[in-house]
Structure 1
Amino acid sequence: MIFRRLVLPFLAISLLSTAQGEEFTPEPGFISLFNGKDLSGWCFREKTKKDNPNPGAILAKFDGQTEAKDAGRYFAKDGILTVSFPTEMDKLTGQFYTVQEFPKNFILKMQFRASVNADSGIFIRKPQLQCRDYLVAGPDAYKTLKNYKAQDWNQIEVTVKDGVAHCTCNGEVLEAALALPATGPIGVEGDRGQMEYRHIQLKELP
């Protein structure tokens, strides 16, 4: 009995440590867009405006940094990219993008966990897919999702083919045909509350 009391707590601690320290391995054919350790490959970009001669231009990169220190809205730790609410008036730092752009057809997979009533988004070549605490924050069309897990990890999958994105959350359709430009980066947004993203992976298609 004494042996059991000693072993079981040790086993639980060991399993927890393994889970927290385990590195994510992309599925076959996929590349990881977030290394889980820092913000390498991610950046701030110039906002798209009618009078902007160079929309989408890279303003700042964060290779090797664990936090976007000039804003403090994005940080990497334990395999998770955490996004928090931006208070800047123009919300420039509310949008965070990959340096790489993706002109080919592709499949994007990522997991997210939303705080209560959190409001975020995923940018696909720039157009935004709403990513929120759906049952509370909506929009109304998403409040009836049956597979969404509140304050738990959920899977977003986006298939882009010929300029159109088909987007699902845990297998349920969010957007059946989201129109996209010819190329662009992948991005995430902070608008309200806290959002966590992990296992961000992409596979280019023929």
Structure 2
Amino acid sequence: MKKRDSLVVWMVLLMGTTLFGQESLTSGVVSSKADGWNPEPGFVSLFNGKDLSGWCFRAKTARREPKAGAVIENFEGKTASDSDGRYSVQDGILTVRFPEESDRLTGQLYTVAEFPENFVLKLEFRASVKADSGIFIRKPQLQCRDYLVAGPYNELKKYKPQDWNQIEVTVNDGVARCTCNGEVLEETLQLPETGPIGLEGDFGQMEYRHIQLKKLP
């Protein structure tokens, strides 16, 4: 190859890196767009894979203003909830880390939207060893953990330790049926009339992805 031709090729590669990012020259790097995931038909995504848009902190108690449940901090366009990255987003994954401070408010992240309708919620989670998290459905919490070690559902046959597992929650008339990889966790979890979807950090590290919801009649 002539020296001039070699220079042209190098300039093309350099432009590709500048215009399209490092992914254009690096295989194996998965971004929120490159993983190819889209919500199932009829579902809408509650997590865009890029940042915490649509998620917030809510007031914890009703002892002072604002009232309990009110949005007190909105993370629209932000990739982390605070300086220490208690909740952070990278490569299509929402990572939840254990909140060590005495005020446990930052242990709970909620959707800005609330859901009074019947719905189906699906999401995938991956737990570190002994991790303890939770999924708030309107208000009540479904334990989401490294189940076989941390319980309470430690007899699951299909749970995959330190791998991706799917939670599915079907809400009908104030009652939720909750499964993990098709195995029943809770058959009749009682719910209030409306509320947001929330995620909790309690111990260890939990990762969530592909959070989607479909409204039912």
Alignment TM-score, normalising by the size of structure 2: 0.84
Tell me whether 1:78 sits opposite 2:81 in the alignment.
no
Which digits, 9 at most, give the CA deviation of each residue in 1:109-163, with x for residues without a partner? 0000000000000000011000000000012xx1110000000000000000000
**Structure 2 residue aligned with 1:67:** 80
Which digits, 9 at most, give the CA deviation of each residue in 1:37-81, with x for residues without a partner? 0000000000145x4561100010011110012552100110000
SS of aligned partner of 1:92? helix
For residues 19-38 of structure 1, what are the structure 2 equivalents within 5 Å?
21-38=34-51
Which digits, 9 at most, give the CA deviation of each residue in 1:1-24, with x for residues without a partner? xxxxxxxxxxxx74x346873242
2: CA distance between counterparts of 1:19 and 1:103?
Answer: 33
Distance 1:161 1:52, change over 3 A: farther
Amino acid at match of 2:154: K
2: CA distance between counterparts of 1:117 and 1:183?
Answer: 31
The structure whose Rg is larger is 2
Contact 2:97 2:204 in 1 (8 A): yes
**Structure 1 residue aligned with 2:5:** none
Question: How big is the shift at 1:90?
Answer: 2.3
SS of aligned partner of 1:167? strand
Contact 1:71 1:93 in 2 (8 A): no
RMSD over aligned CA atoms reads 1.6
**Structure 2 residue aligned with 1:163:** 174
SS of aligned partner of 1:75? strand
**Structure 1 residue aligned with 2:189:** 178
> Which residue of 54, 57, 75 corresponds with 1:44?
57
Which digits, 9 at most, give the CA deviation of each residue in 1:167-194, with x for residues without a partner? 0000000000000000000000000000
Distance 1:38 1:192, change over 3 A: same
**Structure 1 residue aligned with 2:149:** 136
Tell me whether 1:193 sits opposite 2:204 in the alignment.
yes
What percentage of aligned pairs have identical amino acids? 70
Distance 1:161 1:71, change over 3 A: farther
> Runs of at least 4 residues of structure 1 off by over 4 A?
none
2: CA distance between counterparts of 1:160 and 1:52?
Answer: 32
2: CA distance between counterparts of 1:109 and 1:176?
Answer: 16
For residues 75-154 of structure 1, what are the structure 2 equivalents within 5 Å?
75-139=88-152, 142-154=153-165
Amino acid at match of 2:209: R
1: CA distance between counterparts of 2:106 and 2:30?
Answer: 33
SS of aligned partner of 2:124? strand
2: CA distance between counterparts of 1:191 and 1:107?
Answer: 25
1: CA distance between counterparts of 2:210 and 2:91?
Answer: 12
Which digits, 9 at most, give the CA deviation of each residue in 1:84-120, with x for residues without a partner? 0001212100000000000000000000000000000
Alignment TM-score, normalising by the size of structure 1: 0.88
